[in-house]
Amino acid sequence: MSHNQMTVESGRHASALRTAFPLAFPILSGFLLTDATCGIYTTSLGLPWWSPTFMSVAIFAGSAEFVVASMLVEPFNPLATLISIFAGTALFTALVNLVFV
């Protein structure tokens, strides 16, 4: 790839970024605020500083990260965990389906 082609390609990427950033900024700010809150909450529970980052990558569901952080510091109760997972999934599914009613 020649220098001119690289410059043109770089200009396209910069133009695309300038166009997309204002549209993506509200979502980005929501993710940053949710993750910062989850990080503060998780470390205040006594979990390691890296656990919120790991949960963000592994779980990828904002509210579930708060629930998992709470469950990690209490004694493990398999029945409560199972009920929480199924009840949360059922509630989320019901709320999503209400959009179509």
20-67 pLDDT, tens per residue? 899 999 988 988 888 899 899 999 999 998 988 888 888 777 777 888
38: left (phi over 0), alpha (psi -120 to 50) or beta: alpha
Q: Are 66 and 38 in contact (CB under 8 A)?
A: yes
Q: Quote the radius of gyration of the chain (alpha carbons, Å).
A: 20
Instruction: Name the one residue in this structure whose structure tokens are 């470390």.
Output: 43
Q: Average the pLDDT over 4-9 and give the result.
A: 53
Pairwise pLDDT comparison (85 vs 54), residue with the higher score:
54
> Which whole-number Å values give the CA distances from 3 to 8, 9, 16, 38, 42, in the listed order?
9, 10, 20, 45, 48
